[in-house]
Amino acid sequence: MNDNWLKKNTFHFSEFKNLQLLVEAKQRKKLSISLCLPTLNEEKTIAKEIIIMKSELMSRYPLLDEIVVIDSGSTDRTMEIAKSFGADVYEARQILPHLKPYKGKGENLWKALYITKGDIIVYIDADIKNIHHRFAYALIGPLLLNDKIKYAKAFYDRPISIGKNRMRPTGGGRVTELVIRPLFSLHFPELTQIIQPLSGEYAGYRDIFEKIPFPIGYGVETAMILDIYNKWGLDVIAQVDLERRVHRNQDTQALGRMSFAILKTFINRIKALGIIDYKEEVYSEMIQYKLVKEEYTTEIYKLDGFERPPIIEIPEYREKFISFPKTGNLER
Amino acid sequence: MDTYLDKLPSFVDEIRSIKDIIITNILLIGQIPSPTFKEKRRSTAFLERLAEFQVDECTTDGYRNPIGIIRGKSRGKPPIFVVAHLDTFFEQEADHNFTVNENTITGAGILDNSLGVGILVSLPEIIRKLNLQFESDIVIAGVIQSIGKGNLRGIRHLLKTWATPIRGAVCIEGFDLGRLSYYSHGMIRCEVECNISESSEVEHRFKPNAILILHEVINQILELRLPQKPRSRVIIGKISGGLKHGIIAYDATLGFEIQSVSYKMVHSIFDDIQDIVDGTSHEYKVDLSLNVISNANASKLEYNHPLVKTTSAILKKLDIKPSSMSSESELSIFLSHKIPAVTIGITHGDHYHQRNSIMEIEPMYKGIAQLIGVIMAIDSGVCDE
């Protein structure tokens, strides 16, 4: 097992604090950078994310070339608020409209590849309460300053909100420790060095993202790591400590559904790699039980685990991007 | 004066054009918890931000008040101070994450005084945007330990140790646009603590209750005959005590403030209350103590002082109706050092001291233009007479 990776490819955000240096590297390499914020009912946090990124990484230091919001059909005021603060806002279902629409974060990220123009794309969840521009520049930094690194992922301490106006200093990451880390330990021990494989913040070259499939739902982060690892190896991946991230806490049932989707994605990958052989197909329904008025009621969630193919296989995408390829220095 | 007064309305649009930077500063500084005596993280961020905006000098004084200096053209002119207090009323653990909408920002401490601090940090960028250069140095000071038991220690120390004369000062408060404070009432802020020992050696015929003892103290304070002139009042502001519903309260604390336009009168009322406390303690055989938490001298600029008149004209030029009120915060320390100063508010809002405190974004641009106007006025010499 390559256990040097943790030392060699783990960074702290403060190593990339010199924004002028990053801007110069970006200009020298003639690259453009897009920030994508996938949303679904994020009216409480979306404005902050846009304002801070725009102020610090566009107005003051021209590191980002665009901020794009891809929305899954919010029923609150997310889209109006995002527009009012100057982001380019799209509804996911209106992008490549001839394709059957799906709802999920992965769908938004995949469609963002078609909408955004950047050679580097930064994905940041839109529910971060303590958003800071380090969430973007610290993920861009390793890509600009290290020619080998093509994909950078965040990790952090994760205080969680516990009720109104109160915070608990540690917590979160339960699915990582209970699901992903045991699976990685069983099948890909090298990947256990990734501290928070499920973190929702990452940046990478378009050359990478366009060549991997995107599960439409929760499995997208797991799939991304496994596919990048299997295609290009661990050394193209970096992880960056962003210190503190405050986000909404999810209940155990929601985490159960998330784990189901992740397990499905994982099983699909290890089957495809020939690591494991299932005698029959796994089911696509997550079954949960709730006690309502002293009776258990069944709740069944259909989670197909549908995946979008690598977007480079989509003719419209090829037409738009392949005519003027940009360099991430990866073999196509 | 008219030359810069006429420019002020056009400043509003210029300031609005960098709203992303201004709001970002409010968020990045304001979301750091900063209860009194625990301002270190906010203070560090304040200095880092000032350094990022390339002020000419960035430092802390001996009391760790963070300070930035924008150098002026003239070496001979004393500096102009612009200050806002860094501490807020909310504890470290409270959620300080703000919510931004098209027209408002909501969150604990936003109006008192995270907005003011955010504007203070934005000042170098705003001055750059407006292409202004001043004769005097502009000293940007975030002062610590201002509220409550802090007793304005930060600003007291800053002014006590500042070696050179100061030309004039502006104190920034987030709330409310239109306020114009140029006088401070004399004030003593006190706490009465009542403790009844559970294993008291004192024989009580009836076991006293700390809450009821304070009730008695309050009643006696309310019976005091306060003069109409000099205008004076006692504000009963805080009370806490007891453990649970079915147990006699053994501890209770009462917080109040004595205010008067005459500090002599404040002292006289304080002496009366001391007598009430001593008498009650004696009568009920309980430990009752009166402690001073903070105090401020009565001081003021006259209404016809050029700084007050000019500030009033600046507000009117921006279609803001001036509303005079006293301020017992940083202003009182400037005035007691005979430094001409005013306190102004930046925007409108609601739920002033609550966790869901809310500020309006749009009026803030006028509030900032007003601040720039006052700095320009001082720089043009209104405090020099």
Structural domain spans, chain A: 5-321
Q: Would the CB atoms of B97 and A80 count as touching at under 8 Å?
A: no
Pick from A51-55, A57-61, A240-244: least confident: A240-244
The CATH number of B186-296, from 3.30.70.1710, 2.60.40.10, 3.30.420.40, 3.30.70.360, is 3.30.70.360
**How confident is the model at residue A322, as a pLDDT?**
81
pLDDT above 80 (res A2): no
Mean pLDDT over the full length of chain A: 90
- Phi and psi torsions of A276, nearest 5°: -140, 150
Nearest C-alpha in A relative to B21? A55
Question: B375 Cβ partners below 8 Å, 6+ apart?
Answer: B80, B82, B134, B138, B170
Are the beta carbons of A86 and A50 closer than 8 angstroms?
A: yes
Q: Most B CBs within 10 Å: which of A59, A64, A76, A131, as the mutation test of the B interface?
A: A59
Mutate to test the interface with B, among A13, A20, A41, A55 (most CBs of B within 10 A): A55
Retrieve residue B147's tokens.
């509220």
- Pairing type for strands B57-60 and B66-70 reads antiparallel
pLDDT of the residue at A305: 83
Cβ distance of B100 and A166 shorter than 8 Å: no
> What pLDDT, on the 0 to 100 scale, is given for residue A244?
81
From chain A, pick out residues whose CB is under 8 angstroms from the CB of B102. Answer: 47, 80-81, 84-85
Q: What's the pLDDT band for A164 if we cut at 50, 70, 90?
A: low
**Nearest-CB residue to A81 (from B24, B97, B101):** B101
Averaged over B192-216, what is the pLDDT?
82
Provide residues of A within 8 Å CB-CB of chain B: 43-45, 47-48, 51-52, 54-56, 59-60, 77, 80-81, 84-86, 129-130, 132, 161, 164-167, 246
Nearest residue on chain B to A163, alpha-carbon basis: B95
What is the model's pLDDT at position A250?
76
Q: What is the DSSP letter of B149?
A: G
Q: Are strands A33-39 and A120-123 parallel, antiparallel or unpaired?
A: parallel
Query: Nearest to residue B310, comparing CAs of B284, B341, B287, B283?
Result: B341
CB atoms near residue B319 (< 10 Å): 8
CATH code for the structural domain at A5-321: 3.90.550.10
Residues from chain A contacting residue B27 (CB–CB below 8 Å): 48, 51-52
Specify the long-range contacts of residues A250-254, CB closer than 8 Å, at least 24 apart. A253/A288, A253/A290
**What pLDDT score does B198 carry?**
66
Mean pLDDT for B150-164 is: 94
Q: In chain B, which residues touch A (CB < 8 A)?
A: 18, 20-21, 23-24, 27-28, 31, 93-95, 97-102, 108, 355
Residues facing B235 on adjacent strands: B257
Q: Does the pLDDT value for residue A222 go beyond 70?
A: yes
* CB within 8 Å: A55 and B23: yes
- Tell me which fold the domain B2-184+298-380 belongs to: Aminopeptidase (3.40.630)
Q: Tell me, what's the pLDDT at A248?
A: 67
- Cβ <8 Å between A59 and B20: yes
Considering CB atoms only, which of B94, B97, B101 is closest to A47?
A: B101
Using CB atoms, which residue from A52, A86, A161 is nearest to B24?
A52
Tens digits of per-residue pLDDT, B239-286? 999 999 999 999 999 999 999 999 999 999 999 999 999 999 999 989
Quick one: DSSP state of residue A126? S
State the complex-level ipTM. Answer: 0.85
Q: Which of B15, B16, B27 to mutate to test the interface with A (most CBs of A within 10 A)?
A: B27
Q: Given pLDDT bands bounded at 50, 70 and 90, which one contains residue A172?
A: very low
Do residue A55 and residue B97 have CB atoms under 8 angstroms apart? no
| pLDDT surpassing 70 at residue A70 | yes
The partner residue sitting opposite B20, judged by closest CB among A44, A55, A165, is A55
- A51, exposed or middle or buried, with CB in 10 Å at 0-12, 13-18, 19+? buried
Cα–Cα distance between A301 and A287 in angstroms, integer? 6
B138: left (phi over 0), alpha (psi -120 to 50) or beta: beta
**Is A47 in contact with B20 (Cβ distance < 8 A)?**
no
Question: Quick count: other Cβ atoms within 10 Å of Cβ B92?
Answer: 11
For A303-331, the pLDDT digits (tens) are 888 999 999 999 999 999 986 555 444 44
* Cα–chain center distance at B228: 26
**Encoding tokens for residue A332?**
């196509």
pLDDT at residue B268, rounded to an integer: 96
Closest Cα in chain B, distance from residue A249 (Å): 14
Mention every residue, 6+ apart, whose C-beta is less than 8 A from residue B301. B182, B183, B307, B308, B335, B340, B341, B342
Question: Which of A20-29, A163-172, B185-194 is predicted with the least confidence, judged by mean pLDDT?
Answer: A163-172
Interface test with B, best of A58, A130, A244 (most B CBs within 10 A): A130
User: Which chain A residues contact residue B95 at CB under 8 A?
Assistant: 129, 161, 164-167
Res A246: pLDDT: 73
DSSP reduced 3-state for B372: helix
The domain segmentation of chain B, as residue ranges, is 2-184+298-380, 186-296
The number of beta carbons lying within 10 Å of the beta carbon of residue A210 is: 22
Contact B93 A45 (CB under 8 A): no
Instruction: Report d(CA B294, CA B378) in Å as an integer.
Output: 30
Q: What pLDDT was estimated at residue A163?
A: 55
Residue type, A202: Y
Which conformational region is residue B3 in: left (phi greater than 0), alpha (psi within -120 to 50 degrees), or beta?
A: alpha
Query: What digits encode the pLDDT tens for the residues B42-90?
Result: 999 999 999 999 899 999 999 999 999 999 999 889 999 999 999 999 9
The answer to which of A155-169, A216-230, A301-315, B350-364 has the lowest mean pLDDT is A155-169
Identify the burial level of A325 via C-beta atoms within 10 angstroms of its C-beta, where 0-12 means exposed, 13-18 middle and 19 or more buried: exposed
Q: Cβ distance B214 to B241 under 8 Å?
A: yes
The 10s digit of each residue's pLDDT in A80-113 is: 999 999 999 999 999 999 999 999 999 999 999 9
Cβ distance B95 to A165 less than 8 Å, yes or no, reads yes
Query: Is B252 strand, coil or helix?
Result: strand
- CB–CB contact A81 B93 (8 Å): no
How large is the greatest C-alpha to C-alpha distance in chain A, in angstroms?
66
**8 Å CB contact of B93 and A161:** no
Contacts with A48 from chain B: Cβ below 8 Å: 27, 98-100
Cross-chain Cβ contact A60/B99 below 8 Å: no
